[in-house]
Structure 1
Amino acid sequence: MFTNRIKIGAFNMMITSYNFKQIGDVLIVVLGQDKGIQTSKKNGNIVALKNEDGKIIGYNIFNVSSITPEIKNQNGQVILSDNQIDKLNEAIVSAGFDTKLPSKVSPKFVVGFVKSMKEHPKSSHLYITETEVEDGKTLQIVSSSPNMQEGIKVVVAEVGTMMPNGLIIWPSELKDVESDGMICSGRELKIPNAPDRPGALILPDSYKIGEPFDFDKAKTLFDE
């Protein structure tokens, strides 16, 4: 049994994406996991999406370039500036909604350290890890990486992360064992020249546990 593990319940997250060619001038905002029956409410150019208990878990903001014109230069996942968040929150409040976009969201791709691992009791190819992500905070993450081992530094996609392929990481269960995050491969992170096979990306010792994963720095990890 692992100790000092943080169980993920409510979490601070926001994922925003924009694709003018595919869906038009609409900002997609994800604030929480969709569970059960989803409902929506439209006020003006803003649609609030709610889960079955009435909590707002996202917004679709139409004609968003009228609020923040620079959004039209974006495609895919968008990292909003503080000024953009302020303008969008003004529009959300003016539309009659009281759930604002968070002003600060912690980085989701972080450097982790596999403190311990054990075989999954119901699978011969899964491992249950206790992975530190910052200052003693550890997550239980179930991994299928064939090169998984104790004492390595890895890239952790925490709950609330959007992967490069668009997949969002949520709390999950793999064969009845909780998993709060994902240990990533170089291929999943789309790092140049990463091997096209399963396996955790093992980082050099120079990477610091808990720091945001630097995708630009990682571009040379697989250079010959």
Structure 2
Amino acid sequence: MIASYNKEHVGDVLLVELSTEPAVKTIVDRRGDVAILTEEATSEVKGFNLFNASEKMNLDSVVGNIDITKEFVQSLEKALTEADVQIDLHVDFSPKFVVGHVVEIEKHPNADKLHITKVDVGEAEPLQIVCGAPNVAQNQKVVVAKVGAVMPSGMVIKESALRGVDSFGMLCSARELAIPNAPQVKGILVLEDSAQVGTAFKA
């Protein structure tokens, strides 16, 4: 789940995205203060907009992307119930920025400056991530932004294909993570060898 709110520029509307996969054609079903966006071909709910949101939830001082906590989801579920709208909110609360270990690396067949990496993030299988950083190397401990992560810039990490190769996350630089006094040069942030794979990264 990805949620954002910007009353000054968008109005009193909470925007909620339930899928990182792009919609082909959506149908909008307005039910009171809730507009449900559904994929026409599959009937999958891709997201919804909650109007007059500040009357239903505590959104004081919120501008931009919202940190998805259990408390936020509970408030959102209550607002939907009061609007007589049933949407299953299956939320993954696992950390989206984690320590990864680059276990494999090879050159991208269609791009000189890109590499295809396999990165262990503590899951059953390593993630395949295409990376263009000049300093990426095998056996590094790195910061991985998993699919669904929201970068400090507001960019959402989604499954993608770079020059024909699927990529399921991003290896992050200190600058992209908005770490204070981060070097303004190209290159991922390389962590100490003692960093534990799969644990949440905190700047």
Q: Is the 8 A contact 1:20 1:72 kept in 2?
A: no
Q: Distance in 2 between matches of 1:162 and 1:25?
A: 22
Q: Distance in 2 between matches of 1:80 and 1:149?
A: 33
Aligned with 1:134: secondary structure? coil
Q: Does 1:171 align with 2:159?
A: yes
Aligned with 1:118: secondary structure? strand
Q: How does 1:29-178 map to 2 (within 5 A)?
A: 29-32=16-19, 33-52=21-40, 53-69=42-58, 71-178=59-166
In the alignment of these two chains, the number of paired residues is: 201
> Offset at 1:47?
1.1
Q: Is the 8 A contact 1:157 1:184 kept in 2?
A: yes
Aligned with 1:72: secondary structure? coil
The alignment-based identity, stated in percent, is 39
Aligned with 1:194: secondary structure? coil
> Offset at 1:60?
1.1
Runs (5+) with no aligned partner, structure 2: none
Residue by residue over 1:101-125, the C-alpha shift from the partner in whole angstroms, topping out at 9 and shown as x without a partner, is 2354221111111001001111111
Question: Measured at CA, do residues 213 and 18 of structure 1 come closer, stay the same or move farther in structure 2, by a change above 3 Å?
Answer: same
RMSD (CA atoms) = 1.7
Q: Does 1:187 align with 2:187?
A: no
Question: Measured at CA, do residues 122 and 82 of structure 1 come closer, stay the same or move farther in structure 2, by a change above 3 Å?
Answer: closer
Q: Is the 8 A contact 1:34 1:51 kept in 2?
A: no
Q: What residue number does 1:4 align with?
A: none
Residue 78 of structure 2 aligns with an amino acid whose one-letter code is: E
Q: Please give the TM-score of this superposition, normalised by the length of structure 2.
A: 0.91
Q: Distance in 2 between matches of 1:118 and 1:206?
A: 25
Q: What residue number does 1:8 align with?
A: none
Question: Measured at CA, do residues 20 and 112 of structure 1 come closer, stay the same or move farther in structure 2, by a change above 3 Å?
Answer: same
Q: Please give the TM-score of this superposition, normalised by the length of structure 1.
A: 0.83
Q: Is the 8 A contact 1:129 1:142 kept in 2?
A: yes
Stretch of structure 1 that moved more, 95-104 or 143-152: 95-104
Q: Distance in 2 between matches of 1:156 and 1:163?
A: 11
Runs (5+) with no aligned partner, structure 1: 1-13, 219-224
Question: Measured at CA, do residues 160 and 84 of structure 1 come closer, stay the same or move farther in structure 2, by a change above 3 Å?
Answer: closer
Q: Is the 8 A contact 1:161 1:169 kept in 2?
A: yes
